Amino acid sequence: MNTPVITALFGFLILIFAIGFWSSKNVNRKGSGFLQEYFLGSRELGGFILAMTMIATYGSASSFVGGPGVAYTQGLGWVLLAMAQVATGYFVLMVLGKKFAIMARKYKAITLVDFLKHRYNSKWVVLFSAFSIIIFLFSAMAAQWVGGARLIESLTGLTYTSALFIFAVAVLLYVIIGGFRAVVVTDTVQGVVMFVGTLIILIGTIIAGGGITNIMSDLMAENPNLVTPFGHDGSLTPAYVSSFWILVGVGVVALPQVTVRAMSYRNSQAMHRALIVGTIVVGFIMLGMHLIGVFARPILPGVDVPDQVMPMIAMEVLPAWLAGIVLAAPLAAIMSTVDSLLLIVSSAVVKDVYLNYVKPDASNERVRKISFGVTAVLGVLVFGLALSPPDLLIWLNLFAFGGLEAAFIWPVIMGLYWKRANKYGALSSMVVGATSYLLIHQFWTDPFGMHSVVLPVLLSFICFVIGSLVTQHKNVRELAL
Amino acid sequence: MKYNGKYGCPDHDPRFKIANREAIIGVILVIINFAWWYGFAYGMGSKPVEEYTFIFGMPAWFFYSCVVGFLLMVVLVTVVVKFYFKDVSFDEEEEGEDR
């Protein structure tokens, strides 16, 4: 047991709870707008909060635990790959940007599925997208919970199961209490902790390694490939690394947990501010976190479980009390991703399926109860899944990202920018995107040396265009009605 | 065809012109970002390690591609947002805030 570390972590948890309780006042205050508030915070996000919540949601266990672990193994080539994510800082908000915000308000959309429903007017589009969100985000959540529990486990010395239990209870409590507003406000606190934490660990690591020059020569002495863009065994090819621009760069535009934030900003000034803040913070965190992973190698040689590199290096290079505060950063990252995913999946169940097709005339009180109930049940289910965790955290997480991107990227983008886009195009693109991703991911892991997300994204594009064009005459007739 | 308030794609909103232009700016920035990132990483990084030059202790390819590339994007985004992005109202004039 490491008392200062644990004390700092618990202090952080208490702070998060305080914020959750504070936010719950808003949920209860606005009786009529419960759904808007619980799932969207009443579209009141300012620029700084918007930037932070996007980063905190997006920067997850994979960037804070898995990512630096892989960078430790692969060297600078993996940092290069991670830098594809700088694009997410501005691209998502610029491309969805004002048009998505305006259309979402016209449609009174609360979720991505709402948007698709009003844009394409198709029951099958709604059901298929709600279904993909539930399936894919479930696996993403499980991966995050494993990461959170592993982290608590390695910090406190508790067993994996009790660590998971503490983590689950903490997350569930504040999501259920506070809804979207609690999530984004705690995201902001967590985003700040992540940013400062990255800076402190990076500086500590450079000092412990005797300066960057020294660390680099240690790395070259061990294996010169570590300082090339090609990975420790030369396996990171330019095609493979570049294909991550689709997975973690531009494709992020289609992730429901990200798009929902692009409908929640208050006004265009907030969006402009978020663009600048977001680019700076996302770039800095990605660069810093992954560099820490590489720099940790000469300081802590021979770490067997890459996921443990982050906590170990923090405890190695920082005084214990500071390590405790700073290690709240990866915990923050994981919690803030999980809470958003939990909310997105429960909104898919409550808003997109239940309210659309099961009981459209449910009373406010009933919706409120169902929302809390579904959130809680989902949490318990994920807890069960995370009990016997799969080994490679980062791949599970990327698996979910790829599937959602393949399913949603064209329905979202074309829905915004192509007038002729219709439900036939959208549905065929979603079905082909998601299934081809599952198949390729399973049976043809790196087609033409690229990540398995690339081909499904191309295929779903082709299907979208063909599907929409072939059915143009139907579309016109329906719109005229 | 006019937007009927419930389903379909709303047309002819003057704000969409601004929105479309800004989306194109986003795409252009990503292309610049990618070209810079790829060019320096594989342009300078493909040499044998013995021939690498180092800046602030980091290999030059990495310094230019990842560190300078990141700073360049921050500058470009800031400039673009300050000078080319326009403020528009997100709310419908006739119905006001939907809280």
The amino acid that residue A384 corresponds to is: G
Element (H, E) at A305: none
Q: In chain A, positions 245-284, which contact chain B (CB-CB < 8 Å)?
A: 245, 249-250, 265, 267-269, 272, 275-276, 279-280, 283-284
Tell whether A312 is within 8 A of chain B (Cβ): no
Write the DSSP assignment of A185-230 as a string of letters. HHHHHHHHHHHHHHHHHHHHHHHHTT-HHHHHHHHHHH-GGGGSTT
A375, pLDDT greater than 80: yes
- Nearest-Cα residue of chain B relative to residue A114: B7
* φ/ψ (deg, to 5) at B66: -90, -45
Picking from A81, A106, A125 by the largest number of B CB atoms within 10 A of its own CB, the best residue to mutate is: A106
Helix and strand numbers, DSSP H then E, in chain A: 22, 0
Lowest-confidence region among A92-101, A184-193, A267-276, A279-288: A184-193
Q: Who wins on pLDDT, A317 or A360?
A: A317
CB proximity list for A405: less than 8 A, separation 6 or greater: A246, A247, A251, A252, A254, A255, A453, A457
Neighbours of A37 (CB within 10 A): 25
What is the pLDDT confidence band of residue A376, given thresholds at 50, 70 and 90?
confident
Mean pLDDT on A24-39: 64
A153, pLDDT greater than 50: yes
Asked if A90 and B26 come within 8 Å (Cβ–Cβ), the reply is: yes
Q: Who wins on pLDDT, A143 or B38?
A: B38
* φ/ψ (deg, to 5) at A265: -80, 155
Asked if A98 and B18 come within 8 Å (Cβ–Cβ), the reply is: yes
Task: Please report the pLDDT score of residue A267 as a whole number.
Answer: 84
Q: Cα distance from B66 to chain A (closest Cα, Å)?
A: 6
Lowest-confidence region among A16-25, A248-257, A297-306, B4-13: B4-13
Q: Cα distance from A164 to chain B (closest Cα, Å)?
A: 36
What is the pLDDT confidence band of residue A479, given thresholds at 50, 70 and 90?
low
Asked if B19 and A102 come within 8 Å (Cβ–Cβ), the reply is: yes
Distance CA B39, CA B42 (A): 6
Closest Cα partner for A76 from A312, A347, A330, A290? A290
Q: Which residue has 């990975």 as its token pair?
A: A231
What is the pLDDT confidence band of residue A441, given thresholds at 50, 70 and 90?
confident
Q: Which of A76, A87, A238 sits opposite B59 (nearest CB)?
A: A76
What is the pLDDT confidence band of residue A30, given thresholds at 50, 70 and 90?
low
Distance CA A443, CA A19 (A): 45
Mean pLDDT on B16-33: 91
- Nearest-Cα residue of chain A relative to residue B94: A106
Task: Please report the pLDDT score of residue A466 as a whole number.
Answer: 92
Task: Please report the pLDDT score of residue A15 as a whole number.
Answer: 79
Indicate the pTM of the whole model. 0.83
Contact list in B for residue A225 (CB cut-off 8 A) is 49
B96, pLDDT greater than 50: no
Task: Provide, rounded to the nearest whole percent, the portion of chain A with pLDDT above 70.
Answer: 91
B5, pLDDT greater than 70: no
* φ/ψ (deg, to 5) at A33: -95, 35
Mean pLDDT on B75-89: 90
Residue A129's Cβ-side half-sphere holds a number of Cα atoms within 13 Å equal to: 35
CB proximity list for A339: less than 8 A, separation 6 or greater: A171, A174, A175, A182, A183, A186, A187
Contact list in B for residue A102 (CB cut-off 8 A) is 13, 15-16, 19, 88, 90
At how many degrees (to 10) do helices A309-317 and A123-156 cross? 40
Neighbours of A156 (CB within 10 A): 17
A396 and A143 in contact (C-beta within 8 Å)? yes
B46, pLDDT greater than 70: yes
CB proximity list for A358: less than 8 A, separation 6 or greater: none
Q: Which of A30, A83, A479 sits opposite B8 (nearest CB)?
A: A479
Neighbours of A237 (CB within 10 A): 17
Residue A74, token pair as written in the block:
């692969």
Chains A & B: contacts with CB separation below 8 Å: 165
Interface predicted TM-score of the whole assembly (ipTM), two decimals: 0.85
Asked if A98 and B78 come within 8 Å (Cβ–Cβ), the reply is: no
A436, pLDDT greater than 70: yes
- The mean pLDDT of chain A is 82
B48, pLDDT greater than 80: yes
**Burial group, residue A290, by CB count within 10 angstroms (0-12, 13-18, 19+):** buried
Asked if A106 and B61 come within 8 Å (Cβ–Cβ), the reply is: no
- Nearest-Cα residue of chain A relative to residue B33: A87
